[in-house]
Amino acid sequence: MKDNIKAAPITNLGSSKKLDRLMISESAPFHIREAFKTIRTNLLFTLATKESKTFAVASAMPNEGKSTTAANLSVVLAQTGAQVLLMDCDFRKPSVHRLFRLSADKGLTSILCGIDKIEEALNENVVPNLDIITAGPMSPNPSELLGSSRMAELLSIVQKAYDYVVIDASPINIVSDAVIIAKQTAGVVLVTRQGQSRHDQLQKAIESCKFAEVDILGIVLNESKGANSHYYGYRYNQQEKDK
């Protein structure tokens, strides 16, 4: 961790094996771990052209795998030796604290409401080089918090302290939260699930991003049926490639 942010010790509510519920744990199939490393490589090339190294991970609809993807991308980025912060900005249905088995008593909402300081809500070194801020207590006004000046100030602070900031955002077609937060970042990675995501829903999410002038950094397709098992795929945004 960098600069003047000093974290309090993390509270682990479950197994000491913090990655045992993530797909890229050591017990995960080799091809899944390699797929995320490939996504990481492609994403790093895209971010190299951006001034900000903060990006959001979102989906068109719920249950398409965006939170697990955000968590796994954060871990593989941290494996490069970069200092990474994962922030759960899905205030409506937070799940990062469950994936990493952390307490959600303090988090982003309590920071933005002035209840806790950053260092009090920060879970440091959850895995090597990866710090996490959970969503925190449920908030009655998620959109207002994400669009507040306090959120802008927080992003300014953490972007100076970390090499990469990964934001787990809400589904784009359900609420405006994801677009609100993504506008303050380098762009969004859209996650889709084969057999569940519909073309019209994905197209609507893409159009919402374009209307809000949010760059789409890429699209992740998960649970694509291969010959043997599931895998993750990644595709660059064609507009980014043509620039």
pLDDT number for residue 32: 80
Tokens of 151: 């959120």
CB 196 within 8 A of CB 98: no
Distance of alpha carbon 205 from alpha carbon 134, whole angstroms? 25
**Nearest residue to 167 (alpha-carbon basis) of 192, 140, 189, 141:** 189
Please give the domain boundaries of the chain with CATH numbers for all domains: 51-242 (3.40.50.300)
What residue has token string 């969004």?
A: 188
Strand ranges in 143-229 using DSSP code E only, listed in sequence order: 164-168, 188-193, 216-225
Backbone angle region of 63, left / alpha / beta, with phi > 0 → left and psi within -120 to 50 → alpha: left
pLDDT number for residue 93: 93
pLDDT number for residue 118: 95
Q: 49-84 burial, b for 16+ CB within 10 Å, e for fewer? A: eeeebbbbbbbbbeebbbbbbbbbbbbbbbbeeebb
pLDDT number for residue 108: 97
Query: Per-residue pLDDT for the chain (243 aa), expressed as one digit of tens each?
Result: 455 444 333 222 233 344 444 556 667 777 788 888 999 999 999 999 999 999 999 999 999 999 999 999 999 999 999 999 999 999 999 999 999 999 999 999 999 999 999 999 999 999 999 999 999 999 889 999 999 999 999 999 999 999 999 999 999 999 999 999 999 999 999 999 888 889 999 999 999 999 999 999 999 988 766 534 444 554 444 344 443
Give the CA dihedral 232, 229, 90, 61, nearest 10 degrees: 90
Strands of 230-236's sheet in order across: 123-127, 130-133, 84-88, 164-168, 54-59, 188-193, 216-225, 230-236
pLDDT number for residue 2: 52
